[in-house]
Chains A and B, each alone.
Chain A
Amino acid sequence: MLIAAYAIGARDAFVYVRAEYPLAIVRLEKALADARKAGILGQSVLGSGFACDIRIKAGAGAFVCGEETALIESLEGSRGMPRLKPPFPAEKGYLNKPSNINNVETFANVAWIILNGGAKFAAMGTENSKGTKVFALTGKIRRGGLVEIPMGLTLREVIFGIGGGIRDGKRFKAVQMGGPSGGCIPESLLDTRIDYKELGATGAIMGSGGMVVMDETTCMVNMAKFFLDFTARESCGKCVHCRIGTRRLHEILTRITEGRGKEGDVELLEELCRGIKDGALCGLGQTAPNPVLTTIRYFRDEYDAHICERRCPAGECAALRKFWIDPAKCKGCGACARKCPVKAISGEPRSPYAIDSAKCIGCGSCEGACKFGAVSRV
């Protein structure tokens, strides 16, 4: 950051951290205090006469504040809402002064490049994307966590190599790349290299570097609904396309997962998604439809199963789940009947119990209660 400040002649620098990350703030404060003591920050950086100080701004954690102009608004003490661009922050940023705004990861790369040279940095990665990138590997993966990898590795190498594959011997289904507004990539595209251009071609994005791995038990429609629920709530409410559009998307996805989907809903979703991408003011709205578009692109059959057959292939959507007790395995203990919140299970002790599918709400309590594996999904 200091190098960037020196390059553009900036006296004031800020690190914007979510207030919900107190440990990060404590550590940053200590690092800044140490740097001031060592003369790296302050009136004369390393005795050069160049003055610069870094301050910490704790943000309230709104997702949209990752958007640069919303972050600047928040920095100035206003509500985190994106500004119209142009003017870009480089012309009019913080306090309407020209500002340079970057991710911490980008700044961290600058120091490495200065120390080791640009050629060495560019030697890693692909033609389009150089260097390394940090990913947050999570989900149904054996070894999750933060991983820094050179660009150009394939998704398969990261998920099955570094991540050790899928937990509990389940089958890989998809990976959500780039955070809540990224896209999901199916198994057939696992050999895609991690590169801005190649990822973009799949409909996903590098985005925040999130990598959420999903197995066969994840319903892709429900997954899209989950992410839209997030973006709809995190929408700052400024522009119409994002504020209302994401809510409508979420409504349509909800009715599909609850078995109330209509024919033509998928086309309606696609039309709405493209419109939102085109009309939204900032990155949040422009990327929010990605999970919907990519799940439709790669898992259209799951949408159709929900809408036409009122069936959730992954068995995750509670409203579409039905359970069945195998009389051969049931010992008649009654544990399931005691757990059932709607009293849909009846039977005599020591003889097989049965589920009344008309009463069953598909919550799955019985499945968890059975010690003999007699309850299964239909």
Chain B
Amino acid sequence: MEAKNVSLTIDGVKVEVPEGTTVLAAAEKAGIEIPNLCFLKSLAPYGACGVCVVEAEGCPKLLRACATTVREGMVVNSKGERALKARKLAFELLMGDHDGDCLGPCKIECPAHTDCQKYVGEIAEGPTARSTSARSPKGASPTPLRR
């Protein structure tokens, strides 16, 4: 039996996908990137990180794109102010809590504003006391929320 198709709109782009598809997969098909962290294609959605949240018309809550299946006529806004804010907070909270376990060398500016190069360099040079000045007093990365 052929699966039924469902059509929806994401960020103004109309897209048709088989029933049971997630918003995230539908967006991918429409060429729209919804950022995500805890989602892994080969596993069932877990929905913990809160980075993939999107807004949907008529829905009072933010939806996790990785775990929400599409409905006929759904109008999704992946770049609404509310979604972006929640996404930013989720990322900020995660970054603020992580133990400097990121993969080097840095390809973008550090979101936690840690000067790792300086830190690693100073450890190599010797006096470890000085090297800690490159780090925040609490944890490896100064958290945006511990400001």
Contacts and interface: CB of A to CB of B under 8 A. Distances in A.
A281 interface: yes
B94 A244 contact: yes
B86 interface: yes
A240 interface: yes
A211 to B, nearest CB: 28
Interface residues of A, number: 18
A275 B64 contact: no
Given A272-B145, A278-B62, A241 B97 contact: no
Contact of B49 (A240, A245, A248, A280): A240
A251 B146 CA distance: 9
Nearest to B86: A279
B50 A240 contact: yes
B14 interface: no
A239 interface: yes
Contact of B50 (A239, A248, A251, A272): A239
Nearest to B147: A268
A146 B92 CA distance: 43
30 contacts: A84-B45, A84-B67, A86-B68, A239-B47, A239-B48, A239-B50, A240-B48, A240-B49, A240-B50, A240-B93, A240-B94, A241-B50, A241-B86, A241-B89, A241-B90, A241-B93, A244-B93, A244-B97, A245-B93, A248-B96, A248-B145, A248-B146, A268-B147, A272-B145, A275-B89, A276-B89, A279-B53, A280-B50, A281-B47, A281-B48
Number of chain B interface residues as a range: 20 to 34
B90 A238 contact: no
Contacts of A86: 68-69
Interface of A: 84, 86, 238-241, 244-245, 248, 251, 268, 272, 275-276, 278-281
A279 B86 CA distance: 6
Contacts of B90: 240-241, 279
B55 to A, nearest CB: 10
Nearest to B64: A84
Contacts of B86: 241, 275, 278-279
A79 to B, nearest CB: 13
B118 interface: no
Interface in B38-66: 45-50, 53, 62, 64
Given A244-B94, A272-B145, A279 B89 contact: yes
A240 B96 CA distance: 11
A10 to B, nearest CB: 26
B47 to A, nearest CB: 5
Contacts of A251: 146
Contacts of A279: 50, 53, 62, 86, 89-90
Nearest to B44: A84
Contacts of B82: 278
Nearest to B85: A275
